[in-house]
Amino acid sequence: MTMLKDPSVKYRPFPQIELPNRQWPSKTITKAPRWLSTDLRDGNQALIDPMGAEKKTRFFDLLVKVGLKEIEVGFPSAGATEFDFIRGLVDSNRIPEDVLVQVLTQSRQDLIEKSFESLAGVHEAIVHVYNAVSPLWRNVVFGMDQAQIRGIAENGARIIRDQIAKYPQTKWHVEYSPETFSTAELDFSIECCEAVMNILQPTPEHPIILNLPATVEAATPNIYADQIEYFCNNLPNRESAVISLHTHNDRGTGVAAAELGLMAGADRVEGCLFGNGERTGNCCLVTVAMNMYTQGVNPELDFSNIDEVIQTVEYCNQLKVPERHPYGGELVFTAFSGSHQDAIKKGFAAQENRNDELWSVPYLPIDPADLGRDYEAVIRVNSQSGKGGFAWVIEQDQGLKLPKRMQAHFSKHVQQLADELGRELQAGDIWDVFRAAYRLDAPQRFQLIDWDEARSADGTRVFAGKIGVDGQEQSVSGRGKGLISSIVATLDEGFGVKLDVRDYAEHSMGKDSNARAAAYVECVTPEGQVIWGVGIDEDVATASVRALLSAANAVKNAAVQT
């Protein structure tokens, strides 16, 4: 079977919502919602190998650490593993006073009673009851009409009311979900919710949570936002309800649907840290929270050590967070492309020189440091990279800030290695190439032994030094208007090496008293050969001398090769 040339014979577009005066498109998200993690329930039930007690406990502790105040800990009526884990949390007093745990149950008496039993003795908790309400489920799954479906919701509410009276030592909250809300008639969803509210009698001081799930994402996120706004506008006693969102990702827009749903009037978001869940997953709480953060809104969740969060989630779920997953993926702050690298490198330089703290760096909507990431992985080098890429890497790794023309000169060496290896180059690879290209390690014809500088009566500078030449010490000297020109004269008069200095640069490699200095010199030989020399030393003047000797050694090597 293949894809249809005319899919309209098999599929129909989701109908628009009649909402002529919709307000959500002009709204913005200005504060954090109430968050609920369903990693231990919805996320767990979507795993090939569900978590055991050790992993669930470790995950629970992580959720508390990052700041989740509402955590759905399981489906206690599903089996002994779920029930015992929840009882363990309660009996061991592991639940912080400011954290609400939540359990899920279908709207059936035995399952509801088992759910309350699992939480007996807890200081405060949420019982989440649901039943499906949409036409497809009514007609195909249950074979019931609207009145019968509403009756299931009402009966569940009465049982919950009675169970709350049975456990008066706990402060109970109730959440009701008209499951399959996103594909149900809006007025019927409101009817079911109103019926539950009439039985439980919520107040503004003690509201009910009404969760409106996109159980199957069947339309664009703007339609979900319309559904939420319509529901909020038409629900009786709206002030006594917390409107909660539970989006799925069947169309790849679970995050967008949650964000637009908040703009449409919702108060709460349910999801998993990295979007794990049935089929294509749940709403990714990390993405929604960090999207707010980049807009200057405190999400009240702390992902300052995103890698620790990822390590725990991957261990517990046995699912890898994809390399390109927003904010958390290994490569989301990494550029391989030369043009991207150049823009990022310039952006960091501009950011450092600005007087304000506002973040503004090309290709990076957020400072990786806010998530505990260092800058070394921001730019990585392969055969697609440009000179800005390896220049960034060598600056971060070795503290060398190569002059722009030297970057172009060095890029040929790096590109050659990248093409030869056919893989990403590590910082060590680039440093090895640099040392070889600019003669920093291997024995060379000219080696600096000692030097001194004096000023003559006519104001000229006199360089006097001892240079090792092919292993033999030789005393040399030369005059010039400055240090650089006096060394050039020394090389010419003492060894016949003629260099015309075109450019010179130097900088400190660090900020403390032990910082070294780096010097770079661009020279041209009488034959027009462009040569770069590099010198590194604790003393900036000595670094300059070493840089010119490095260039002189290149002339000698070039002569031997020809």
Q: What token pair was written down for 505?
A: 């640069």
Q: What's the number of CA atoms in the CB half-sphere (13 Å) around residue 88? A: 14
For the domain bounded by 29-317, which CATH number is listed?
3.20.20.70
What's the rounded Cα separation, in Å, for the pair 397 and 395? 6
Residues of the chain with CATH 3.20.20.70: 29-317
Q: What is the pLDDT of residue 240?
A: 98
DSSP 3-state assignment of 126?
A: strand
Q: What is the pLDDT of residue 379?
A: 62
* Cβ atoms 173, 125 nearer than 8 A: yes
Whose tokens are 């590194």? That residue is: 536
CB neighbours of 139 closer than 8 A, spacing ≥ 6?
A: none
Helices 109-118 and 80-91, axial angle in degrees (round to 10): 30
CATH of 446-561, one of 3.30.160.270, 3.10.20.30, 3.40.50.300, 1.20.1440.230: 3.30.160.270
Q: What is the pLDDT of residue 562?
A: 27
Residues of the chain with CATH 3.30.160.270: 446-561
Q: What is the pLDDT of residue 465?
A: 85
What's the rounded Cα separation, in Å, for the pair 348 and 364? 10
In order of 242, 326, 429, the CA distances from 378 in angstroms are: 41, 14, 17
Helices 221-234 and 254-263, axial angle in degrees (round to 10): 30
What's the rounded Cα separation, in Å, for the pair 75 and 94? 18
Q: Which of 186, 238, 236, 234 is nearest to 212 (CA)?
A: 186
Torsion of CA 528, 529, 530, 533, to 10 degrees: -130
> Which element (helix H / strand E) includes 432?
helix 427-437
DSSP 3-state assignment of 338?
A: helix
Q: What is the pLDDT of residue 438?
A: 86
Whose tokens are 């990702």? That residue is: 249
- The stretches in the chain having pLDDT less than 70 are 376-377, 379-388, 442, 513, 556-562
Per-residue pLDDT reduced to its tens digit, 467-509: 888 878 888 888 888 889 998 998 988 888 999 999 999 998 8
Q: What is the pLDDT of residue 124?
A: 98
CB count in 10 Å sphere of residue 383 = 16
pTM above 0.75, yes or no: yes
Q: What is the pLDDT of residue 467?
A: 87
User: For 207, which DSSP code?
Assistant: P
